[in-house]
């Protein structure tokens, strides 16, 4: 929606434990069935979809539908705790449509990681925990993972014109995965995990 007048200053309430923004201008949920192709273990995914009636994996509240360049867009993402096989719940991830646009993430509760990947194949991860701000630089795809047993709630802020390109990561995993090993989160290479599953 295009607003003809520039917005007024305001303070927007955010519930740190649930991520709910009562004044949100947009909201969506993603269920496990929306995340096919992203997890290491498709059999476990289908079993959970079937046996748990396709639970919500994460949801998103956004504030500000003003589309004027130079404005900011912000909101929350809430990733519910859980695993598909050994792999922790995650978001579908995206590049920004304008690849040279950056973003920040700030965890409000729970803990996790952001998986990063560049077009040249470079990958890395960064913590997503209360007390730290995660910088999402230009040109990096980003996908978030909840490794805690409570909802991971984080606040994201980016330029409104950054936009989302979900297609580049649709239906595929990223180079790194976060799996549970001996009760702890372990960041591993996808290729190694895929070949371990096949042997």
Q: Which residue's CB is nearer to Ni ion, number 45 or number 107? A: 107
Nearer to Ni ion, 87 or 103 (CB): 103
Q: How far is the CB of 194 from Ni ion (least distance, A)?
A: 26
Stretch that binds Ni ion, among 5-13, 98-106, 119-127, 146-154 (CB under 5 A): 98-106
CB of 21 to Ni ion, least distance (A): 17
The reply to whether 117 sits near Ni ion by the rule CB under 5 A is no
Q: What are phi and psi of 184, to 5 degrees?
A: -125, 155
**Residue 4 beta carbon to Ni ion: minimum distance, rounded to whole angstroms:** 27
Cβ closest to Ni ion, residue 31 vs residue 99: 99
Q: At closest approach, how far in Å is the CB of 49 from Ni ion?
A: 26
Residue from the set 39, 84, 101, 103 that interacts with Ni ion by CB under 5 A: 103
Q: What's the distance, CA 9 to chain centroid?
A: 28
For residue 81, give the nearest of 152, 130, 179 by alpha carbon.
152
Asked if 164 and 28 count as a contact pair (C-beta separation under 8 A), the reply is no
**Which residues make Cβ contacts (< 8 Å) with residue 42, sequence separation at least 6?**
36
Candidate ranges 21-29, 39-47, 81-89, 101-109; the one touching Ni ion (CB under 5 A): 101-109
Residues that bind Ni ion (rule: CB under 5 A) add up to a total of 1
Of 86 and 162, nearer to Ni ion (C-beta) is 162
H helical segments located in the chain: 42-51, 190-198
φ, ψ at 193 (rounded to 5°): -70, -40
Tell me the C-alpha distance between 77 and 16, whole Å: 11
Q: How far apart are the first and last CA of the chain?
A: 52
Binding site for Ni ion (CB under 5 A): 103
């Amino acid at each position: 929606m295009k607003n003809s007048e520039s917005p007024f200053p305001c303070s927007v309430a955010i519930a740190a434990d649930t991520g709910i923004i009562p004044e949100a201008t947009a909201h969506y949920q993603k269920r496990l069935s929306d995340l096919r192709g992203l997890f290491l273990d498709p059999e476990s995914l289908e079993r959970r979809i079937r046996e748990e009636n396709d639970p919500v994996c994460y949801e998103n509240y956004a504030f500000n539908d003003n589309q004027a360049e130079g404005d900011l867009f912000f909101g929350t993402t809430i990733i519910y705790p859980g695993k598909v096989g050994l792999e922790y719940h995650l978001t579908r991830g995206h590049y920004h449509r304008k690849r040279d646009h950056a973003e920040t993430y700030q965890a409000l509760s729970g803990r996790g990681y952001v998986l990063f990947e560049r077009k040249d194949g470079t990958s890395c991860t960064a913590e997503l925990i209360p007390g730290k701000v995660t910088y999402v630089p230009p040109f990096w795809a980003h996908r978030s993972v909840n490794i805690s047993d409570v909802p991971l709630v984080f606040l994201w802020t980016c330029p409104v014109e950054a936009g989302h390109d979900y297609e580049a990561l649709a239906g595929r995993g990223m180079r790194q995965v976060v799996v549970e090993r001996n009760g702890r989160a372990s960041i591993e290479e996808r290729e190694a995990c895929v070949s371990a599953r096949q042997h």
